[in-house]
Amino acid sequence: MLGRTIESVEVLHPRPVRRHLPGAEDFASRLTGRVFTDARRRGKYLWLPLDSGDALLGHLGMSGQLLVQPQDAPDERHLRVRFRLAASEAGPPLELRFVDQRMFGGLSFSPAGAEVPAELTHIARDPLDPEFDDTVFVGRVRRSTSGIKRILLNQTMISGVGNIYADEALWLARLHGDRRGDRLRAVQVRDVLDAARTVMTAALGQGGTSFDALYVNVNGQSGYFDRSLEVYGREGEPCSRCGTPIRRVSFMNRSSFFCPTCQPPPRGAGGGPARGAGRG
């Protein structure tokens, strides 16, 4: 895609460009004629800098895909936005396609956003970013009364960690997600940070986690890190370290998976074994 001129932009569904307030036509006209110069990301946001110094900003949400396709590829069922890209010395014309079933994600035009879009100022760096500051993160965690899983999912504290990798990192670090940040030792916070890096690096090496065809790279290929998951989606299966059945609990309108032996819940918190009186 890099170095190619956007010949036209076709918005097939208005919802994915809803964050571009001037509307779909304005979105298309601002991008038409521009050239993609780079592809960057911060956490789960990505942006494509343009020769104008602006950027195309995007987030895949739960089900989004950004695909690079030949012109004659049949339209995907949930194709929402099509960018027709001119031929270049690199090859024949291409299309960049935003495909999204649930449309929680979206695209927008970020004025002067080539370096870092202003919309991302609240998003922390991710743990694989060379400029991520471990010491600052450890300090912030240890001043927070929130549970460590909630902190890992808080994109203003650390970005790029989602529900799967948070659970996997906590298992690796032998920490229960309800453990409060301010009750963790610095070495425990560093351990969970290292664990997140380990899990995310391994997942990237296997092309990501793909439970179904929704989760693919720009070439439409699935990753296979799901085969390496230790706890996520494995309720009732034995922990590979100790054999205890993995548990699933409801958390933030979703699920958390953990080993109740390797990752004991904090004392005094709900969910742990009640001392004295039973639970009815």
- Residues lying near DNA in the complex (CB under 7 A) are found at 15, 43-45, 59, 61-62, 77-78, 101-104, 122, 144-147, 150, 153, 155, 162-164, 180, 208-212, 214-215, 223, 252-255
What distance lies between CA 51 and its chain's CA centroid?
A: 27
Q: Which of 186, 233, 178 is nearest to 209 (CA)?
A: 233
Looking at beta carbons only, is 202 or 252 nearer to DNA?
252
- Least separation in angstroms between residue 230's CB and DNA is 15
Helices (runs of H) and strands (runs of E) counted in the chain: 5, 10
Looking at beta carbons only, is 4 or 78 nearer to DNA?
78
Looking at beta carbons only, is 37 or 154 nearer to DNA?
154
Contacts of 29 (CB under 8 A, 6+ apart): none
Looking at beta carbons only, is 209 or 263 nearer to DNA?
209
Tally Cβ neighbours within 10 Å of residue 89.
Answer: 5
Strands 40-42 and 254-258 turn out to be unpaired
- Least separation in angstroms between residue 106's CB and DNA is 10
Q: How far is CA 64 from CA 32, 74, 100, 107, 234, in A?
A: 22, 18, 4, 10, 25
- Least separation in angstroms between residue 123's CB and DNA is 8
- Least separation in angstroms between residue 169's CB and DNA is 13
Determine the Cα–Cα distance for residues 238 and 208; give it in Å rounded to an integer.
23
Looking at beta carbons only, is 155 or 263 nearer to DNA?
155
Looking at beta carbons only, is 94 or 141 nearer to DNA?
141
- Least separation in angstroms between residue 49's CB and DNA is 20
Looking at beta carbons only, is 6 or 43 nearer to DNA?
43
DSSP 43: T
Determine the Cα–Cα distance for residues 186 and 160; give it in Å rounded to an integer.
21
β-sheet with 55-59: strand ranges across? 40-42, 45-49, 55-59, 106-110
Contacts of 243 (CB under 8 A, 6+ apart): none
- Least separation in angstroms between residue 91's CB and DNA is 28
262 within 8 A of 179, measured Cβ to Cβ: no
Residues linked to residue 245 through DSSP beta bridges, in sequence order: 238
- Least separation in angstroms between residue 122's CB and DNA is 7
